[in-house]
Structure 1
Amino acid sequence: MSNSRRSSSSGPGDGSTRRLELRVPEMDCPSCAGKVTNSVERLEGIANLEARATSGRLIVEYDPTCTDEGAVRERVRAAGYAIDSNESERTLSVPGMDCASCATKVENALAAVDEVEAVETQPTSGRVTVTASDGLTVEPIVDAVESAGYEATPIGDERDGLDESRTVWKSRRAVGTVAGGVLVTAGMALKFVVPALDPALWTVAGRTYALSHLLFIAAVVVAGTPILRNGYYSARNWSLDIDFLMSVGIVASVAAHHPFEGALLAVLFSVAELLERASMDRARDSLRELMDLSPETATVRRDGGTEETIPVDDLEIGDRVVVRPGEKIPADGTVLEGESAIDQSPITGESVPADKTRGDDVYAGTILESGYLEVGVESEADESTIARIVRLVEDAEREKTEREQFIDRFASVYTPVVVSIAVAFVLVPPLAFGASWSYWFVVGLTLLVISCPCALVISTPVSVVSGITSAARNGVLIKGGRHLEAVGESDVLAVDKTGTLTEGDLSVTDVIPLEGADEEDVLRRASAAERRSEHPIGRAIVGYADEQGVAADDADVSEFEALTGRGVRAEIDGTTHYVGKPDLFDGLAGLEHAHATTDGGTALASMGYESPSQCDREGCLDVVADVVPTLEAEGKTVVIVGTEDRPLGVVGVADRVRPEAPWAVARLQAQGVRVVMLTGDNEGTARAIANEVGIDEYHAELLPEEKLEWIDRLESEDSDGDEPARVAMVGDGINDAPALATASVGIAMGAAGTDTALETADVALMADDLSRLPYLYELSDKANGVIRQNVWSSLAVKAVLALGAPVGIVTVIHAVVVGDMGMSLGVTGNAMRLANVEPETPERVDAEARSR
């Protein structure tokens, strides 16, 4: 499969760009990424360029009228890096090719391209697979298809960014490093341990060269050649990176008759590079595990009952796939037949398998634990929930955090300054004070090694990648490093009520008819008005009416209008009706004098009235003053049904609090987070829910724009000086979209399978599980701590080494082993600790408490 992807707008010459994605395995550090970027940037027409060192991918957007894919590839190779791909096979999406005649036309066009060896067209799926000779770029293939009158787009494999784990210790460089190490060890033994066995080989200009000298030179050649090669490409691309600095150090050491230091530098730095690459592979493993969740094949049941195993990529919407115990579900879809418990932890992070039966939604990558399912495919492989998660996690590397941006700016100044100091130490003491050239050369060489900011530069991105992939495995999707940092820095969490603290599965609990109506009439009018509404309360009323057998199909409904945050209005049988909050009826005639005339059920009994007639006789039941507050005090949402003249009835709707909500709120508060509930529901319901879950601060009866005002108010209330406070907001990702967008961090509930939540939220909880919120804050806090530890420890070690170099305490060995290799491994290993952060649950905490 080709490793390049391209997209274009209308066509060349009108501002369109094409997107190219290349896999560059050896580009695994910021220095390498900078070198490749510098090389490719020289081309004209480069619109956007991203070198992702963590995943070894280069993404280029370019103007095809100014350059092409071949030129981009050439610039990558000019920087000294190979592009890893299977050049012989490329797959293109040709959506307009949907019949046999179209396929023939495309095949004929491709046959005219000399390098094309075979063509396989798939009109059903609109794909073309081309087998070509090595070195053929995608441009001629796309041009050929377009010459046939069809738009073509290269398709990349989701796994392109992360190849199989490479065995770095068996590579050519590893062999050369080992050989160089042996030569250095032998030379050290001769020179320092048994000098009597170190014979002089020749004398030049009064300087004697012994066998150990020759061994050191050989070590430089064997272990240092890859470094010198990379340094050459760095110089060609004007990149002041570690490869260039080490090359200068090695060459200068040999030229200045310090072959031991040069050989030691070559071997130690090569070991550091190998260790760094191995540790980076560990960082990539977590993302590779996500990619491996989706199966590669699927068993499809065709017409007639026959079963066929096909690649998952060939699945089409409407296919019927068969899944047996232990197998992974190959695509997002709906259960058509069978029932089973499914392990959904790869998607939602839920530890308890979910029972699925006919009509239930299932996700690609989840595992069938028992039973048998037949699933109707509802999304293509590259649009499944797990595929979108992988893409979003990969893209999370794109956005640099504020710390990363600062460190990049710092490194751009730090390295030239320290290099200049190193040169000064080499030249000034001997020239100005007659000091030893040999001594100050070693000092300058040591500072040259210290000038490399590699450990500092990777300290943040490797932590971000580790944290984000760890979160994804536990059912929390974080859309970027800045969001990971921002969660831990937010002291306030604004929480929506319906669908967040509560289950969002509303049900009607009370129907209280008023004067001139009965229960069936109230339900009929309410459900007729709400059938066009998408609000959960409206759906609950319609569902309850259907359950009670109250038909509203015969009602003539027109002029429907949703009154945002208040209710709905509609013409029913020629009369304007309102269904909504009590304040929707403020000022309407008859509201203040309406009295109940039929059995009001629970609400009337709770107020001491045995029947409506008693209520009328005593003249004491005012709808606003009595019925509404009583229902609200029970934590119910009150909906009034009426016309412009008078209310006809009161409907009580209730929602259940999520079982884990009180525990999650308590844990968040214990972590120092101020939890505030913002809801559009009434004061009584809000108070009841807040008391049940343990929230002290709540604000009710808020319209969507008022929620935005409260987000701004919370930011100003908790601000520290000129900086506004960070406020996180958690909601359902759809109804609360404005507030989620306004908050510093928007967190969407239950995003699994929900396109809107996945695309709009900064953080998405894949399951409706509030226990993931304390985990998210814990992970973010630890990630911020790890990043700070990495940054400050890198700076501190560099400072100590730099201070120790001039006085002879720190040598080249210390600079390479501690300052470069040690710190790079240290920050990577420290970042990997984030993978061990596991979410707590009420059951887990209780079990641990009992075990003590």
Structure 2
Amino acid sequence: MSKMNIQKTILNYKNQIAFLSLFLIVIAFSGHYLLGLEKLSQIALMIASIIGIIPIAIQAYQSIRVKVISIDVLVTIAVIGAFVIKNYEESAIVTFLFLFGSYLEKKTLNKTRSAIKELTEMAPETALKKMSDGMYQEVSINLVEVGDFLQVKTGSKVPVDGKVIEGEGSIDEASITGESVPVNKKQSDHVFAGTILENGTLHIIAEKVGEDTTFGKIIELVESAQDSKSEAERFIDKFSTFYTPLVLVLAIIVYLIWQDIELAITILVLGCPGALVIGVPVSNVAGIGNGAKQGILLKGSEVIHDFSKIDTIVFDKTGTLTIGKPVVSSVEYYGADLKKTLGYLYSIEKESLHPLAKAILDYIGEPATNYRVLKNEVVKGGGIIADIEGIRIVVGNQKLMIDEHIELDQKMLEDIKNFELKGHSIVLTAVDNELELLMCIKDQIRPDVKKQLDQLRKQGAKNLIILSGDNQGTVGLVSKELGMTEAYGNMLPEDKQAFIKKLQREHKIVAFVGDGINDSPSLATAQVGIAMGNGTDVAIETGDVVLMNSDISKLPHAFGLAKATARNMKQNIGIAIGVVLWLIISLLFSEWMNMSIGMLVHEASILIVILNGMRLLKYKRKPTIRWKSSI
């Protein structure tokens, strides 16, 4: 086995070495204090020191090779020095603390993300291609070229970006637009790879294939955004760039002046910041533990650091600010026999592929009478014209009513205008050329979401922005109701990602909140991606913060917790550095400081930073104080 392979193998078992070192330290202390076996204690501490220093020394060697004096170098020299002067207790404990601190941090930082793999698996692998004999045959997606004729059946994924040349069906485009309402597709309409045909059969011509499809671009965008994110760097590595050489130089100077090797080694031992090694990870673990209890997943210290500095939060609308399930919100009746009109509408919508049909059916429920629809004509962009028992029924929008010469009086026109201004989708029903029913359908805003947004503003999120694939009118109304800073509709995944990059160029620190596959590029591009827990697995894997059960009310707690955790880290860093400076100054300019006292202070400082970090487990967001007007 080569030297590099041996080093790699040892580093792979670094966590096991840390816990073996702890086991030996426990044996040593038990042997010394409980059994009085001094020799056993010394041997156990020596072995713990030797096995513990090996992975640290390897890392020190690797950093020196690239001309970096890391904290590993300082720890290695200090442990070897303590071992040389036979202070095995110090050498064993220092190695364990360093390895254990590394273990805690990596446990929280190294969250494997499988977003690319999952996206790739969700991409269609086969397609029904029209062959030279006119028959359709299932082939690998790699064999499909631009211009090929393809068939898509109910329940299948659309294999390419293309145009419908024959057939009609309802497609779930959530993977592209993020909108939960299925879209009806007919001849000449465009379809996208990765979307799902819920019902019907479509014949399409391929216009974009493979990586050129919209879905393929989403995969590429997520990959490039994740590659652009640097790996989390520990503070102590950055700090060591000047701290480690300073301690080494100080130890050398002391030795040259006083010719006291023990004093020089003691400086290295006291200068080894054990509290610094453990302080940051314990803050992370406590903060992450608090979040987990509240249904919040924070993926590592870098996420916490970035999240605490956020000044701009961008929201996807559907499934994030809104529930994502359209419902009938208002109804106006104009006719005399409303029961029969609802029966007609139910019978027609039951056979309909219209995206809003389910909301209508849910509202009406099973009527007493089901009518047989003799004729059912779908009018593109308008609605449906049906014949029931010789009675002409027209269901659709205002334009269809005008085209079919159905008279709308002043009140009806005012009702339509008022509801549209409030962001409703309007479905009108006319019976024998008389308008009988107006039905309003709307996606509901999540309860108390405005209160949560107000709290985010108070916590420092200056800009709250909506980006959505929905139409601008609806997005604008939601924005106005919630008091958002900006709102933009009709946005595809690449548009959202480009907008976030624009904000970042303006030096804003951006968090993006979303739940769909289409949100993955934005989740990966933003400094902090916040995924709703009930969203897709890809969105969750790509996100840095996950709100379990899609509870938007947890977002202010998560934001406040990140700020508290970042503060706690700084406090622990300050304590650790302050203790080390005080120890070294006391060693050089007092008579009472020695290695034993220094060791005791070290252990006390470690306990202090651990207890300080543990305070985060009890963190609760302070309730907002609301002042009541006396007027």
TM-score tier, shorter chain, comes to: 0.5 to 0.7
CA contact (8 A) 1:530 1:539 kept: no
Q: Which AA in structure 1 matches 2:611?
A: G
* Residue 353 of structure 2 is aligned to residue 530 of structure 1: yes
Which of 9, 25, 28 matches 1:173?
A: 28
CA contact (8 A) 1:733 1:760 kept: no
* Residue in structure 2 matched with residue 507 of structure 1 by the alignment: 327
Q: Which AA in structure 1 matches 2:452?
A: A
> Matches of 2:59 and 2:98 in 1, distance apart?
24
Q: How far apart are 1:422 and its partner, in Å?
A: 1.5
CA contact (8 A) 1:234 1:241 kept: no
Q: Which AA in structure 1 matches 2:407?
A: T
Which of 812, 815, 821 matches 2:595?
A: 812
Q: Which moved more, 1:460-469 or 1:228-237?
A: 228-237
> Matches of 2:583 and 2:5 in 1, distance apart?
40
Q: Following superposition of structure 1 onto structure 2, how do residues 793-832 of structure 1 map, counting pairs within 5 Å?
A: 793-808=575-590, 810-818=593-601, 820-832=602-614
Q: Which AA in structure 1 matches 2:359?
A: A
Q: Following superposition of structure 1 onto structure 2, how do residues 101-500 of structure 1 map, counting pairs within 5 Å?
A: 171-176=26-31, 178=33, 221=42, 224-226=45-47, 228-230=49-51, 233=54, 237=58, 239=60, 244-253=76-85, 265-267=87-89, 402-404=232-234, 407-411=236-240, 414-415=243-244, 418-426=247-255, 428-429=256-257, 436-437=258-259, 440-500=260-320
CA contact (8 A) 2:79 2:95 kept: no
* Residue 517 of structure 2 is aligned to residue 749 of structure 1: no
* Residue 460 of structure 2 is aligned to residue 677 of structure 1: no
> Matches of 1:671 and 1:235 in 2, distance apart?
41
* Residue in structure 2 matched with residue 20 of structure 1 by the alignment: none
* Residue in structure 2 matched with residue 63 of structure 1 by the alignment: none
* Residue in structure 1 matched with residue 550 of structure 2 by the alignment: 768
Classify the secondary structure of the residue corresponding to 1:748.
strand
> Matches of 1:821 and 1:730 in 2, distance apart?
42
Cα separation, partners in 2 of 1:594 and 1:173, compared to 1, 3 Å: farther
* Residue in structure 2 matched with residue 35 of structure 1 by the alignment: none
* Residue in structure 1 matched with residue 207 of structure 2 by the alignment: none
> Matches of 1:252 and 1:678 in 2, distance apart?
63
Classify the secondary structure of the residue corresponding to 1:597.
coil
CA contact (8 A) 2:101 2:278 kept: no
Cα separation, partners in 2 of 1:627 and 1:750, compared to 1, 3 Å: farther
Deviations 1:788-807, CA, capped at 9 Å, x for gaps:
22234333433443444433
* Residue in structure 2 matched with residue 314 of structure 1 by the alignment: none
Q: Which AA in structure 1 matches 2:500?
A: I
* Residue in structure 1 matched with residue 512 of structure 2 by the alignment: 729
Classify the secondary structure of the residue corresponding to 1:43.
helix
Cα separation, partners in 2 of 1:822 and 1:168, compared to 1, 3 Å: farther
Deviations 1:237-265, CA, capped at 9 Å, x for gaps:
58566774455334543xxxxxxxx5xx4
| TM-score normalised by structure 2 residue count | 0.59
> Matches of 1:45 and 1:266 in 2, distance apart?
25
Q: How far apart are 1:743 and its partner, in Å?
A: 2.8
> Matches of 2:521 and 2:427 in 1, distance apart?
25
Cα separation, partners in 2 of 1:521 and 1:680, compared to 1, 3 Å: farther
CA contact (8 A) 1:523 1:541 kept: yes
Q: Which AA in structure 2 matches 1:597?
A: E
Structure 1, unmatched stretches of 5+, are 1-38, 58-75, 84-165, 184-217, 254-261, 288-398, 430-435, 561-566, 574-578, 599-603, 613-620
* Residue 502 of structure 2 is aligned to residue 540 of structure 1: no
Q: How far apart are 1:482 and its partner, in Å?
A: 2.6
CA contact (8 A) 1:227 1:247 kept: no
Cα separation, partners in 2 of 1:283 and 1:224, compared to 1, 3 Å: same
* Residue in structure 2 matched with residue 740 of structure 1 by the alignment: 523
Classify the secondary structure of the residue corresponding to 2:589.
coil
Structure 2, unmatched stretches of 5+, are 61-71, 110-228, 335-340, 388-394
Aligned length: 477
Cα separation, partners in 2 of 1:469 and 1:700, compared to 1, 3 Å: same
Q: Which AA in structure 2 matches 1:669?
A: R
Cα separation, partners in 2 of 1:247 and 1:745, compared to 1, 3 Å: closer
> Matches of 2:92 and 2:42 in 1, distance apart?
12
Q: How far apart are 1:814 and its partner, in Å?
A: 4.7
Q: Which AA in structure 2 matches 1:418?
A: V
* Residue 4 of structure 2 is aligned to residue 42 of structure 1: yes
> Matches of 2:585 and 2:396 in 1, distance apart?
73
CA contact (8 A) 2:382 2:396 kept: yes
> Matches of 1:784 and 1:179 in 2, distance apart?
41
| TM-score normalised by structure 1 residue count | 0.45
* Residue in structure 2 matched with residue 195 of structure 1 by the alignment: none
Which of 788, 794, 798 matches 2:570?
A: 788
CA contact (8 A) 2:98 2:274 kept: no
CA contact (8 A) 1:522 1:649 kept: no
Cα separation, partners in 2 of 1:745 and 1:699, compared to 1, 3 Å: same
Classify the secondary structure of the residue corresponding to 1:530.
coil
Q: By percentage of residues, which structure has more helix? A: 2
CA contact (8 A) 1:771 1:841 kept: no
Identity of aligned residues (%): 26
> Matches of 1:697 and 1:42 in 2, distance apart?
55
> Matches of 1:235 and 1:503 in 2, distance apart?
51
Cα separation, partners in 2 of 1:803 and 1:592, compared to 1, 3 Å: farther
> Matches of 1:802 and 1:553 in 2, distance apart?
91
